[in-house]
Chains A and B, each alone.
Chain A
Amino acid sequence: MTISAERPTQVDDHSPVSPVAVKEPRGFGSGWRGQHLGTAIIAGFLGYVFGHWLGNYIASSYSYIANSGQNSVADFLALAFMVVGWYVGIGALNYPLAKMFGREPAHEVEYTGFGKYFRYNLDHKVVGLQYVVGVLLFLFTGGLLAMAIRTELLNPTTHFFNAGTYIEIVSEHGTIMMMMATSIVVGPLGNYFVPLMIGARRMAFPRIEAFSFWTFLIGYAVIFSALPFGGFPTGWTGYAPLQTQAGPGMISYLFGFAVIGVGMMTAGFNLAITVVNYRAPGMTWSRVPVFVWGILSTAALLTLATPVLFSAGLFGVLDKTAQTAFYVTEHGGSSFLWENLFWFFGHPEVYIMALPGFGIVGEIIPVFTRKPLFAYRIAAAGMIGVALLSFFVWQHHLFQSGIDPDMRPLFMLTTELISIPTGFIFLVGMGTLYRAKIRFEVPMLFCMAVYFNFLIGGVTGVFLSDVPVNVTVHGGFFVLSHFHYTIMGGLVFAFFAGLYFWLPKMTGKVMNKKLGLWHFWTMFVFFNMTFFPMFFIGLLGQPRRVFTYAKNLQSWNDFSSISAYLLGLSFLIFVANLMWSQFISPVKSPANPWDSLGLEWQTATPIPRHNFDRIPVIMTDPYHYSEEGAPALADFSGGAKTNMSSETVPGNDPT
């Protein structure tokens, strides 16, 4: 029996989320009843207009910056009500409001056509795909801004933008990319595959899962609402007093991070609770796939570090609207308060952008080496170690800032200690490669590139953590190159490894290998050609975020800029591949194209609505690639039964 879009979804007795059957004809135009993206946009717009009116009504002629003609209260309330309107429009509030007023909420209508991707959908597999589109939207917008930055830096004296526009572009690029990177793996691949990998039918809190996605998406609108107000001049770090001095675009930044922060916290604790409580019987902690360890450690950071950012952002909003003085030195506040709050979040954030990548490479490499994951326990220990230590390193961003110098040896030590658990990840990878039979499929190539790039990013991190060397490299292009090597070279490459690896499962269609190889090689080569010269540019004395620079650095900068354009083109190859393989000329994928032992591959393609017919009973860890006649991964007929049919692939278990 195959799943078709017409098939009505049935009631799952074991789930508090009880979708009722709905007969909906297939097709794009048919699904525009009820609440969806369109109603959310309309309600968001109405919310914006209302909030702006309200702000002007309750605080008329209030202006934070003298003679600017901007009412900060109205600017903030407009954005706040835009977000509320968005929630109302998409239907996020239907269920909680009904409960709050003591009414039994109506059953959610579960749509089955293409329209389900535009709705508040409670299926983790739909949310995963929604997130794929969402993070690509962030990634490509940020990428275009990066092209603009490199264009401006082609020449130190001839300018393509004016100084104000340039700093807007730099700030938007940094902020949008940081927001993207917090969710690029956790959102799409975490939400989609964590339940499948641990043998669960759904996430612990499906409504909160959908809420985290729609919050992430409206964050995009909030942060870009800065542009009509002249942007913000602070870069992604938003340091006060520049923040205090900045115009109304700053409110979009402060509130934008608070909104994205809500998305991160909800996504994080939902994933953590799912992993802790929804593992199938037999899925002990020593059998949990390493990708799940990566997501679990990331989820811990998302849950514990993000509240600091959320509060810090709202303090800034209060400074601008209620005239508090958290960050205003002259009125008893402190610019150091922002620096510390920001980086107390900001450094765990850096590992939010690394750990999921470690998880992906650990998951993929055994499949293509036909070997067990080397030193599994050390891999898990490494990720947890990184997550713990990441809370104790934040002041290394402030070595030269004028903080108490006593703290420097301590933060130098903790920062360098973090390279020990990071080294575990390399031990695991290199050990798995040892005497393997490696298949160089596209996902495997991306994994090798992660190790290549992250090594450079990690080693330069040790240079940065050394206080004497930090004097030269802090605040320059050296550090810029360093974190692009870890975030783009590590996380974004790992994301593409995961996407090429798992898309056949997510969509049922294989990606074109030839285009995939072109994408990989162009991206790998031009990434290194773009960012490696920046180490030299930085050492030769170019500070970050500059509009103009020393004449003698022009050839280095031009080399980097031209490589950056070619790097941009490699993303177009990916888009072409995505369009070609998924929409124009799709080739159906077998249920398990890479011959993986992972639990997620033992389901049918497309994956049934509730994943598993019976909850599988896990017998062993999923990495027994090296053994002929290895024990079966799971018993698919022994677990609790539902009235759902799941088409678990017969004969595809690893025996």
Chain B
Amino acid sequence: MTSENSSKDEVNHLQRITLIWIVLSVVGDLLYWFLVGPHVPPGRMTETASANQEDFNILFLVAWPVLIGIWEYMLYAVVNWRSKKAGVPESVGGPRAAENRKAETSWIVITTVAVLLLAAFGTVEVIVDHGSGGGEGPNPIWNPSGAVKADAAALAGTATWSPNSSQVLPVQVIAQQWKFTYRYPTFGGFESAYLILPVNTEIAFNVTSLDVIHSFWAYQLSIKADANPQQNNVAYTKTLHTGSFEVRCSELCGIWHGSMFNSGNVVSQSAFMAWATKTEAANAQNTKNLPPFAWTYVPDANGAAGGYYIDGTVTPYSPVEVYGSKQPGS
């Protein structure tokens, strides 16, 4: 085989592979974007959910050509470049088959550019979207306007929220083995077993734990923040649509980890206001017996569930010690 023939052959192979690759990439990406993309979890119930869905879809647009490119190439190799004879085939390619500067350089340049663009894109998204619904720790740096003020007011007990005020609503998520409860500092700090949220409202989730590490995962809201004992972990989102959503624990927290889930609702602002004021009044007696509102709670010497943490003064678990003389209603 002369070198002229071989280089022509080379071009044909590469041309064919590239052509098929372009077709498969474009068709696949278009089908994905229009047919699959809009249905990708976590949906579009909140601002972070729709932003994170869009992020996933854009990553897929980049990932699909990579996947299909390598697969197509491998399949092409299997079909066209297999040894047809039994035994050891004769040598092919000569010494120059070991290197190809052009191929190497372009591979490195293309992957590097793609990776840097993806990292830049992710960075912009996470900053613009106030942490993308992920837990930012006790001192969030990417916060929506008014959020820090609302959290400070919540702690001082002066926070207010009313429909159509475009105020941020702080909500506290308390995780413990094996349930989530929620406190609303703007409504006297009452505690609820269900998470009810107003629509079109910026929410500041303040997540903490009473025992081990849990993770508060509000699936359709696209919120995920680890619940750490004695730490406040803050995450933000803005609700866009009404509907129900699920809450799950996504960090292993003991044997009933899988059963640690409940659900919540995003309702209209007026319905939320009505529910919150009604529940605040109905729970007033219980709320008085709760520990005063704070971002974190230190369990008593025996731990919230009793007896896990040793201390100098080990006493049996006592609800009286935790809640005062008046025990809360169930």
Report which A residues bind B (CB closer than 8 A): 64-67, 163-164, 166-167, 233-235, 237, 239-242, 244-245, 323, 328-331, 335-336, 369-376, 378, 399-406, 408-409, 412-413, 416-417, 419-420, 423-424, 426-427, 430-431, 433-440, 448, 451-452, 455-456, 459, 462-463, 465-472, 474-476, 539-541, 543-549, 595, 623-628
Q: Which residues of A contact B77 (CB under 8 A)?
A: 433-434, 436, 438
Q: Given A66-B314, A417-B115 in contact, is the A547-B213 Cβ separation under 8 Å?
A: no
B156 within 8 A of A: no
Other-chain residue from B78, B219, B226 in contact with A438 (beta carbon distance below 8 A): B78
User: Which B residues are CB-close (under 8 A) to A438?
Assistant: 77-78, 81-83
B102-132 Cβ-contact flags toward A at 8 Å (1 or 0): 0110011001100100110011011101011
Known contacts A462-B118, A547-B256, A467 near B213 by CB under 8 Å: no
Question: What are 24 inter-chain pairs, A to B, with CB distance below 8 A?
Answer: A167-B252, A242-B254, A329-B230, A330-B298, A330-B299, A335-B228, A401-B226, A408-B126, A419-B115, A433-B77, A435-B13, A437-B82, A455-B66, A459-B67, A467-B125, A467-B132, A469-B59, A472-B224, A474-B250, A543-B248, A543-B249, A545-B257, A625-B91, A628-B91
Chain A residue at smallest Cβ distance from B117: A416
> Chain A nearest CB: distance from B299 CB in Å?
7
- A370 pairs with B91, CB closer than 8 A: yes
Is B290 at the interface (CB under 8 A from chain A)? no
Q: Which of A400, A448, A466 contacts B226 (CB 8 A)?
A: A400
Q: Are B252 and A370 in contact (CB under 8 A)?
A: no
Candidates A65, A409, A595; contact of B88 at CB < 8 Å: A595
> In the complex the two chains form, is B228's CB within 8 Å of A439's CB?
no
Nearest 5 A-B pairs (CB), nearest first?
Answer: A546-B258, A475-B250, A402-B233, A437-B89, A372-B98
Give B57's nearest chain A residue, CB to CB. A469
State the B residues within 8 Å of A (CB). 9-10, 13, 40-42, 48, 51-52, 55-56, 59, 63, 66-67, 70-71, 73-74, 77-78, 81-83, 88-95, 97-100, 103-104, 107-108, 111-112, 115, 118-119, 122-123, 125-127, 129, 131-142, 207, 211-213, 215, 217, 219, 222-226, 228-231, 233, 246, 248-259, 298-299, 307-310, 314
With A245-B308, A436-B93 given, can you name 15 additional A-B contacts, CB distance below 8 Å? Answer: A242-B213, A335-B229, A370-B92, A404-B137, A408-B126, A408-B134, A419-B111, A419-B115, A433-B74, A435-B81, A462-B63, A468-B56, A471-B222, A626-B93, A626-B98
A412–B123 touching, CB < 8 Å: yes
Residue from the list B99, B122, B308 in contact with A375, Cβ < 8 A: B99
The interface residues of chain B lying within 8 Å CB-to-CB of A440 are: 78, 82
Please state if A549 and B258 are interface contacts (CB–CB under 8 Å). Answer: yes
Residue of B nearest to A476 (CB): B250
User: Which one, A237, A423, A433, A468, contacts B122 given CB within 8 A?
Assistant: A468
Distance in angstroms from A82 CB to nearest chain B CB is 27
Kindly provide the distance from the CB of A46 to the nearest chain B CB, expressed in whole angstroms: 32
Compute how far the CA of A22 lies from the CA of B48 in the bound complex, rounded to whole angstroms: 74
For B310, list chain A residues within 8 Å (CB): 64-66, 323
- CB nearest neighbor in A for B133: A471
Interface residues of B, dominant DSSP: mixed
B115 proximity list for chain A (CB < 8 A): 416-417, 419-420
CB distance from A250 to the nearest CB of B (A): 12
When distances are taken between beta carbons in the complex, the residues of chain A under 8 Å from B119 are: 409, 412-413, 416-417
Whole-angstrom CA separation of A517 from B56 in the bound complex: 38
With known contacts A233-B254, A239-B252, A433-B74, A472–B42 Cβ distance under 8 A: yes
A436 touches B92 (CB 8 A): yes
Contact present for A405 and B142 (CB under 8 Å): yes
CA distance A456 to B215 in the complex (A): 27
Contacts of A406 in B (CB 8 A): 141
A430 contacts which of B70, B78, B82 (Cβ < 8 Å)? B70
Supposing A245-B211, A437-B89, A438-B78 touch, asked if A431 and B226 sit within 8 A by C-beta, the answer is no
User: B111 contacts A423, CB within 8 Å?
Assistant: yes
How many inter-chain contacts with C-beta < 8 Å in the A-B complex?
305
Give chain A nearest CB distance to B321 CB in angstroms.
16
CB-based nearest A residue for B81: A436
> What CA separation (Å) do A462 and B64 show in the bound complex?
12
User: Which listed residue, A369, A371, A372, A472, touches B56 by the CB 8 Å rule?
Assistant: A472
Query: Is the beta-carbon distance between B211 and A469 smaller than 8 angstroms?
Result: no
Q: Are B41 and A541 in contact (CB under 8 A)?
A: yes
Specify the chain B residue showing the minimal Cβ separation from A369. B81
Given the known A-B contacts A412-B123, A623-B98, are A370 and B89 also in contact in the complex, defined by CB atoms under 8 Å? yes
Tell me the nearest residue of chain A to B103, going by C-beta: A431
Which listed residue, A163, A417, A467, A539, touches B255 by the CB 8 Å rule?
A163
A439 and B93 contact, Cβ closer than 8 Å, known pairs A64-B310, A245-B211, A423-B107: no
Contacts of A417 in B (CB 8 A): 115, 119
Whole-angstrom distance between the alpha carbons of A417 and B108 in the complex?
A: 12
Which residue among A66, A427, A467, A471 has the maximum number of chain B CB atoms within 10 Å of its CB?
A471
Residue of A nearest to B255 (CB): A163
The residue of chain A having its C-beta at the shortest distance from the C-beta of B138 within the complex is A402
Q: Which residues of A contact B112 (CB under 8 A)?
A: 420
Bound CA–CA A466/B125 (angstroms): 10
Q: Which residues of B lie under 8 Å from residue A436 when comparing CB positions? A: 77, 81, 92-93
Q: Provide the bound-state CA to CA distance between A400 and B254, in Å.
A: 19
Question: Are A468 and B51 in contact (CB-based, < 8 A)?
Answer: yes
* Residue among A67, A400, A628 making CB contact with B134, cutoff 8 Å: A400
B212 near A245: Cβ-Cβ < 8 Å: yes
Write the chain B residue with the least CB distance to A325. B309
Complex-state Cα separation, A403 to B111, whole angstroms: 30
Q: Which of B118, B250, B314 has the most CB of A within 10 A?
A: B250
Taken together as a complex, chains A and B put the C-alpha atoms of A207 and B83 apart, in Å, by 45
Chain A residues with CB under 8 Å of B246's CB are: 541
Q: Which residues of chain A have C-beta atoms less than 8 A from B40's C-beta? A: 539
> Once bound together, how far apart are the Cα atoms of A467 and B70, in whole Å?
26
